[in-house]
Amino acid sequence: MMSAPERPEGRLVVDVWSDIMCPFCYIGDTLLAQALEKFPHGSDVEIRYHSFQLMPHLPADHAVDLNELLSKERGFPKAQAKAMNAQVAARAAEIGLDFRLDSAIATNTRAAHRLIHFAGSQGRQHDMVQRLFRAYFTDGLHVGDHDVLAGLAAEIGLDRSAAHEALDSGAFDADVDADVRQAGQLGIGGVPFFVFDGQYAVSGAQPVETFLEALDVAWKGKFTKSA
């Protein structure tokens, strides 16, 4: 059905396209994690993250208030933007997430995506994704700033200097481009987008039950085919 990256034998792979500035990506990632806790084979599922930028046109060296950005980009009155963010924060709170969108700093996320690839090369991709989500949605940090990003890498146990060097040198830029290009090939127009075993797609922050069903179908398709 789909053509995602190569899949290792013995493990079920879920490929996830997301942007750390996307609230539903954080919510969806959390719901998937909750589903994995209930899935009998959860320890044999590998999650791989791929870059996607919702607003690639934002300047890398500039940060703006999120409500102002929504007002400018989407044409919403600022009061409406605040109300919409409050609704999203309430939904996030239902699954244990602390969204403080009034203090969120919108910026270009390309450097953050490169940092995720750097962390992936060190075996810490998921930890980095999670820390970046919290940095943006809860801590109000500027996730386009290399100093901030290197500090976040250090928080999860990566070498700060190596992370800073990777960011400053433009390392993993081609990996980000490859992810975005593959998203286009798969017809992905929005995130979060989940591909289970390269075969089954789930779009959006779906309920835990939907993720459990996708995991079950993909697992049976991969490991319990009829003799």
What does the alpha-carbon distance between residue 177 and residue 37 come to, in Å, rounded to a whole number? 32
Q: Where are the domains of the chain?
A: 12-59+108-220
Mean pLDDT of the chain: 93
Q: Topology of 12-59+108-220 in CATH?
A: Glutaredoxin (3.40.30)
Share of the chain above pLDDT 70, in %: 95
Q: How confident is the model at residue 7 (pLDDT cuts 50, 70, 90)?
A: low
- Give the pLDDT of residue 168: 98
Does the pLDDT value for residue 137 go beyond 90? yes
Q: Give 42-69 pLDDT, tens digit per residue.
A: 999 999 999 999 999 998 888 888 888 8
CA 224 – CA 227 distance, rounded (Å): 8
Residue 9 scores a pLDDT above 50: yes
**pLDDT of 4 over the 60 cut:** no
Q: Which positions ≥6 away from 165 have C-beta within 8 Å?
A: 171
Q: What is the pLDDT of residue 1?
A: 43
Has this prediction a pTM greater than 0.75?
yes
Give the model's pLDDT for residue 62.
Answer: 80
The predicted-structure confidence for 179-218, as pLDDT tens digits, reads as follows 999 999 999 999 999 999 999 999 999 999 999 999 999 9
